[in-house]
Amino acid sequence: MTVTLIDHGAGNVASVERALTRIGAASVRASSPQPIANAEILLLPGVGHFAALIRALDEKSLRQPLLEAVNRGVPFLGICLGLQALFESSDEAPDLAGLGVLQGRVSALPQTVKLPHMGWNTIRALRPSRLLRDVPADSYFYFAHSFAAPAAAGPATATCEHGAEFAAIIERGNIFATQFHPEKSGDAGALLLRNFVSLAA
């Protein structure tokens, strides 16, 4: 099994690539529709601005093959902005349509705390999580974001809090996403990535 990394030009693809190599998972970059349509496992990394990611996906005509792959059950992991892109829209770019795989809107974290929410935080498991299998409950994960998906989003399996509670992990069927960066989260992150890849095997 080879993980197809969606390389839209606005992501930290190299970091994710290195993390997959460390856990012994094969990966290939894809920046055109066909390899994404044919993927066995899909991973959407993303950092930066919501608009940059959505525009890059549309300019490269990756939205349709991505949605088709997700709809036919290909295991999918979105990281950080890759989680936010799954929703219908984001306050960061209110006029742009997100992928709409999940209902709801991404919004800004409150300005009562320092933003970006940058650094290591723990998470609260809401219900059994396949991504967190064997991951110690008090593990820290690395976050770097100012916008977040609502904690009440139906498919959230874990939340985090920084000014407000928000979705830290999302799992629904073949769709997985993390607001934190597992590829930068030490051993706990590596275990989570291994869980994702082995789910798909």
Partner 1 sequence: MTLVRRIVPCLDTDGARVVKGVNFTGLRDAGDPAELAARYNAEGADELIVLDIAASRDRRPTFLETIRRVAAELAIPLTAGGGIRTLEDARAVVRAGADKITVNTAAVEQPELISQLSEEFGAQAVVLAIDVKREIGNWDVRIRGGRDSAHLDALLWAQQGVALGAGEILLTSVDRDGTQSGFDVALTFAISRSVSVPVIASGGAKLPDHFLEIFRDGAADAALAASVFHDNTQSIRSLKQFLAQRGVPVRFPC
Catalytically active residues are 80, 181, 183
In whole angstroms, how close is the CB of 33 to partner 1 at the nearest point? 24
In whole angstroms, how close is the CB of 181 to partner 1 at the nearest point? 8
- The tokens describing 41, both together, are 């496992």
In whole angstroms, how close is the CB of 72 to partner 1 at the nearest point? 31
Residue 40 or 118 with smaller CB distance to partner 1: 118
Residue 69 or 170 with smaller CB distance to partner 1: 170
In whole angstroms, how close is the CB of 13 to partner 1 at the nearest point? 10
Residue numbers at the binding site for partner 1 (CB under 8 A): 12, 14-15, 18-19, 22, 47-49, 52, 111, 114-124, 136, 139-140, 142-146, 160-162, 181, 183-190
Strand 175-178 vs strand 76-79: parallel, antiparallel, or unpaired?
Answer: parallel
Sheet with 147-148: list strands edge to edge. 89-90, 105-108, 147-148
DSSP state of 12: -
Residue 40 or 124 with smaller CB distance to partner 1: 124
DSSP letters, 100-143, are -SS-SEEEEPPTTS-SSEEEEE--EE-S--STTTT--TT--EEE
Residue 17 or 174 with smaller CB distance to partner 1: 17
DSSP state of 96: S
The whole-angstrom separation of Cα 99 and Cα 50 is: 11
